[in-house]
Amino acid sequence: MDESFERAKEFFLAGVRHYEAGRYEQAHAQFEASLSFVPQRASTLMNLGATRIQLGRFEEAAEVLEEATEVDPSDAQAWAHLATALAELGRHEDALRCADKALALDAALASTWSVRGMLLRDLQRPQEAVESFRKAIERGADAPLHEYYIAAITGEAAPSQTPARYVQTLFDSYADGFEDHLVEVLRYGAPGILAGGLPQREWRSALDLGCGTGLMGEQLKPRVARLVGVDLSANMVGRARERGLYDDVVQADVTGYLASAKEASFELVTAADVFNYIGELAPVFDAVRRVLAPDGWFAFTVELTVAGADVELQPSMRYAHSRGYVESLATRCDFEVAALAEHPIREDQRQPIPGLFAWLRNPRT
């Protein structure tokens, strides 16, 4: 019995070391090995559940975390992880109950206040969601990120751009299933529409802003000699590189990259479904104007505002822009508006997202 306990402890500690170093597959194997010596140990079950969350195995995570909460109902962390797993599975009401249990046991769990806020937002309980995000900030959660969540719900004090950390976390975790989900489930076809509206010519150089996994690049490659992609998310950049369509894929913020690019160095700049993560577009337009060659084209999408303001941060946590705003920026930058087309970008919760497709031309010679 003692020997089993010692072996279980060794595997457990090795699991914790792997987990802390981000080696989740190895951590998983160690926690499972530990449980084979001492089954039903709450802390091991809890760590195994947390590891499965990191591996995106939410169903199995929930199973083992439910067991952990049965073995030790006073383990706040187990309830907190169970809330996260259930939230990922779309079981909002169950997840909320678990988050409340975790917070009743330990009100200092900042990340659980944050999960709770997201759940309440999805459950259309905005005021309580805002209170939860405020509690998360008080408990030490990332303040700019949570202020952004609050601004998206209240519509007040929106920052000019989505915090980089939000974009990176969202798209790093989304990169694996991105294309199937976006194209099959959300009926995303923006890259094809944008490419279809470009003049039939060969381009010497093109820059794809927020290139993601490379869906836009796929459309452009046959007509472009040198194709560069830029994206903030490391995992999206990894996917785009694997695809082998781009001559270079840079992990950077759109505006930062444009500022470092040479003047008039691209004949074509594209941004498909990206400006909804950038609120204030004037700096991007100015920067694109600088890097665009004479007779170069700038093709992009925006989500269209419903209420009519120039820029709106929506509860979806994406920005929408008005047609008038896009037109006034084009005028300000001396771009010629070759075409504007209102067309849904994709769906969200089975509803089409109203969008504007824009093709601008740099007429300067």
Ligand X SMILES: C[S@@+](CC[C@H](N)C(=O)[O-])C[C@H]1O[C@@H](n2cnc3c(N)ncnc32)[C@H](O)[C@@H]1O
Q: Which residues bind ligand X (CB under 6 A)?
A: 167, 171, 190-191, 210-212, 215-216, 230-233, 236, 253-254, 272-274, 277-278
CA distance to 208, 220, 302, 304, 361, per residue, from 343 (Å): 21, 20, 10, 10, 20
Helices (H), the chain: 2-20, 24-37, 42-54, 58-71, 76-88, 92-105, 110-122, 126-138, 143-154, 164-174, 178-179, 190-196, 215-220, 234-243, 254-260, 282-291, 323-332
Residue-wise burial string across 2-21, b where 16 or more C-beta atoms lie within 10 A, e elsewhere: eeeeeebeebbebbbebbee
Q: Rank residues 96 and 220 by Cβ distance to ligand X and give the closer one.
A: 220
Q: Rank residues 18 and 239 by Cβ distance to ligand X and give the closer one.
A: 239
Q: Can you name the residues that pair with 299 across neighbouring β-strands?
A: 270, 359
- For residue 182, the minimal CB distance to ligand X (Å) is 7
Measuring CA to CA, which residue among 201, 205, 207 is closest to residue 269? 207
- For residue 275, the minimal CB distance to ligand X (Å) is 8
- For residue 159, the minimal CB distance to ligand X (Å) is 12
- For residue 195, the minimal CB distance to ligand X (Å) is 11
> Which residue is at the shortest CB distance from ligand X?
212
Q: Rank residues 161 and 205 by Cβ distance to ligand X and give the closer one.
A: 161
- For residue 251, the minimal CB distance to ligand X (Å) is 9
**Spatial contact of 46 and 78, defined as CB atoms under 8 Å apart:** yes
- For residue 255, the minimal CB distance to ligand X (Å) is 7
Q: Rank residues 107 and 193 by Cβ distance to ligand X and give the closer one.
A: 193
Q: Rank residues 216 and 268 by Cβ distance to ligand X and give the closer one.
A: 216
Measuring CA to CA, which residue among 15, 91, 25 is closest to residue 54? 25
Q: Rank residues 78 and 216 by Cβ distance to ligand X and give the closer one.
A: 216
Instruction: Give the DSSP H or E segment for 360.
Output: strand 355-361
Q: Rank residues 75 and 142 by Cβ distance to ligand X and give the closer one.
A: 142
Q: Rank residues 133 and 188 by Cβ distance to ligand X and give the closer one.
A: 188
Angle at 276 between CA 271 and CA 282, to 5 degrees: 75
- DSSP state at residue 248: E
- For residue 132, the minimal CB distance to ligand X (Å) is 25
Angle at 14 between CA 75 and CA 79, to 5 degrees: 15
β-strands 336-342, 347-348 pairing: unpaired
- For residue 263, the minimal CB distance to ligand X (Å) is 20
